[in-house]
């Protein structure tokens, strides 16, 4: 899958050919290049270099904290190839390092609370595997990869099933662990009465979440979600929740500043 994503990225960027490079650079010229960090970050996505270059030299590992001036990898080969693939390599590295960096900030923000940070499915289409790997490199726990590997009953599922009880009873036939979102205290009590072992509480304030968790009293694992940011995640983590999840880890991570420097071999 990774190779196919890279192929599509190259096809999008190069098209019929890199006309600038082909016009300026002799076909037989060789060069070496360095991928250089320009700000503090957690690096991720280094595996993309294996898809783009022959035998890249990796000087850092996914999840490493890097500082301005660090070299994370070097490559060597035909100058035309290094130049043509530069932008695609940087797009992946910058994006994935951004995800890993935000993930680390979330993890650091809840340190000492005993609460674990989860990512979500709010990922760039086609890049979920890599973005979740980047989130894990930053220290968060991956939630489900897709709709196929875990049951998470949300509000619209409850409405379509006819209620909390009906949704839980029907889902048990799938033989998978069940997590269910509850929107009201009545739904909370109904879910607990029917054996729900993992509850999702969405869009509560930290104070409200603390009250609900006190009522749950350890009868189920609790995940909090809904607009949780770096500024608020510790307050949510301190409510006694087992997990907090945030789509911001993937959907709002900015590209980090990584550059490519080429010199003749």
Average pLDDT of the residues in 8-32: 97
Average pLDDT of the residues in 227-234: 96
User: Please, which pLDDT band fits residue 177 given cuts at 50, 70 and 90?
Assistant: confident
Same domain for 47 and 119?
no
Q: What is the mean pLDDT of the chain?
A: 97
Which tokens in the block code for residue 158? Answer: 């409850």
Tens-place pLDDT, residues 89-107: 999 999 999 999 999 999 9
Same domain for 236 and 247?
yes
Average pLDDT of the residues in 117-128: 96
Looking at the predicted structure, is the pLDDT value of residue 1 above 70? no
CA–CA gap between residue 135 and residue 116 (Å, rounded) = 13
| Residue 155 domain boundaries | 107-251
Same domain for 113 and 91?
no
Q: Which residues are catalytic?
A: 87, 122, 154, 181, 202
User: Please, which pLDDT band fits residue 265 given cuts at 50, 70 and 90?
Assistant: confident
Same domain for 36 and 130?
no
Tens-place pLDDT, residues 133-172: 999 999 999 999 999 999 999 999 999 999 999 999 999 9
- Say how many domains are in the chain: 2
Sign, Cα dihedral of 7, 12, 18, 21: negative
Task: Give pTM, 2 decimals.
Answer: 0.95
Same domain for 174 and 258?
no
Q: pLDDT value at position 2?
A: 82
Same domain for 61 and 153?
no
Same domain for 223 and 118?
yes
CB atoms within 10 A of CB 251: 14
Same domain for 257 and 246?
no
Q: pLDDT value at position 76?
A: 98
User: Please, which pLDDT band fits residue 241 given cuts at 50, 70 and 90?
Assistant: very high
Average pLDDT of the residues in 55-70: 98
- Angle, helices 164-171 vs 185-193, to 10°: value is 40
β-pairing verdict for 243-245 and 221-225: parallel
Same domain for 6 and 40?
yes
Could you tell me the CATH number of the domain that includes residue 147? 3.20.20.70
Q: Alpha carbon 65 to chain centroid distance?
A: 17
């Amino acid at each position: 899958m990774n190779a196919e994503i890279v192929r599509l990225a190259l096809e999008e960027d190069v098209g019929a050919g890199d006309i600038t490079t082909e016009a300026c650079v002799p076909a037989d010229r060789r060069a070496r290049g360095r991928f250089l960090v320009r700000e503090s970050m957690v690096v991720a996505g280094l595996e993309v270099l294996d898809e783009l270059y022959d035998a890249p030299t990796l000087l850092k590992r996914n999840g490493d904290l890097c500082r301005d001036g660090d070299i994370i990898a070097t490559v060597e080969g035909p100058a035309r190839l290094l130049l043509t693939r530069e932008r695609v390599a940087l797009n992946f590295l910058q994006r994935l390092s951004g995800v890993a960096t935000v993930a680390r900030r979330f993890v650091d923000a809840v340190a000492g609370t005993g609460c674990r940070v989860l990512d979500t499915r709010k990922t760039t289409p086609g890049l979920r595997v890599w973005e979740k790997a980047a989130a894990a490199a930053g220290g968060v726990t991956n939630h489900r990869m897709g709709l196929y590997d875990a049951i998470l009953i949300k509000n619209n599922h409850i409405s379509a099933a006819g209620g909390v009880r009906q949704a839980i009873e029907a889902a048990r036939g799938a033989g998978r662990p069940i997590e269910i979102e509850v929107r009201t205290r009545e739904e909370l009590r109904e879910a607990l009465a029917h054996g729900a072992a993992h509850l999702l509480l969405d869009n509560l304030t930290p104070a409200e979440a603390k009250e609900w968790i006190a009522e749950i009293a350890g009868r189920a694992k609790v995940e909090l979600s809904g607009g949780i940011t770096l500024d608020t995640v510790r307050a949510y983590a301190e409510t006694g929740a087992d997990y907090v999840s945030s789509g911001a880890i993937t959907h709002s991570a900015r590209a980090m500043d990584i550059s490519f420097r080429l010199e003749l071999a």
